[in-house]
Amino acid sequence: MDYVKLSKQTSYALRHAPWIYELELDDEGWTPLEDLLEGLGSEAKFSGVSRADLERIIASSEKSRFEIAGEHIRALYGHSIPGKLLKKKATPPEFLYHGTVTRAVEAIRQDGLKPMRRQYVHFSVDTTMATIVGTRRGNDLVILKIPAREASAQGIVFYEGNAQVWLADNVPPQWIIFP
């Protein structure tokens, strides 16, 4: 089993196109694990995929993309499906970081951070993860720093995606520290 491909396909199924796999996500993104296994298993390269395979990709992932609870599974963040999944407000760490590219900085200075094609804006708890995320869009990396705890105290809502990823509906430019 190619676990990298399985992880990518699981992301696609749970974050971007659940209807292709005949999955129904609830308001928090959960779907029956058996339904996902059946949907993935309908493709020859994933025939025979098991719960143990999914548990293996979860355990080996540095980014904690998915979680299993009982007989259900969900992606923790990164959704682009129509309709917004519900997240619980949480108090963020003192600072969060957002990796982007130089060409996006001027628009961010004017409009702040917006979710673009995703449901939420994504933040990292450290610059290492923000660097990994930001370099996906190009090598002209810019790391933005957000005084998240202070912004939260002033009404900006943050949600915990997992231990490394935080989310927000948007962050106005006054809450962004540019390099």
Q: Quick one: 39 and 68 in the same domain?
A: yes
22 or 106, greater pLDDT: 106
**Range of the structural domain that residue 149 is part of:** 96-175
Mean pLDDT score across all residues of the chain: 92
Number of separate domains in the chain: 2
Q: Quick one: 71 and 105 in the same domain?
A: no
Quick: pLDDT tens for 64-74.
899 999 999 99
What are the respective helix, strand and coil percentages of the chain, to the nearest 5? 35, 20, 40
Provide the whole-model pTM. 0.70
Q: Quick one: 104 and 166 in the same domain?
A: yes
What's the sign of the alpha-carbon dihedral 18, 24, 29, 35? negative
**In the predicted structure, residue 153 carries a pLDDT above the cut 80:** yes
For the domain that residue 170 is a member of, what is the CATH number?
Answer: 3.20.170.30
The amino acid sitting at 15 is R
Quick: pLDDT tens for 11-67.
999 999 898 888 889 989 999 999 999 999 988 899 999 999 999 999 998 778 999
For the domain that residue 31 is a member of, what is the CATH number?
Answer: 1.10.10.970
Q: What is the structure's pLDDT at 112?
A: 98
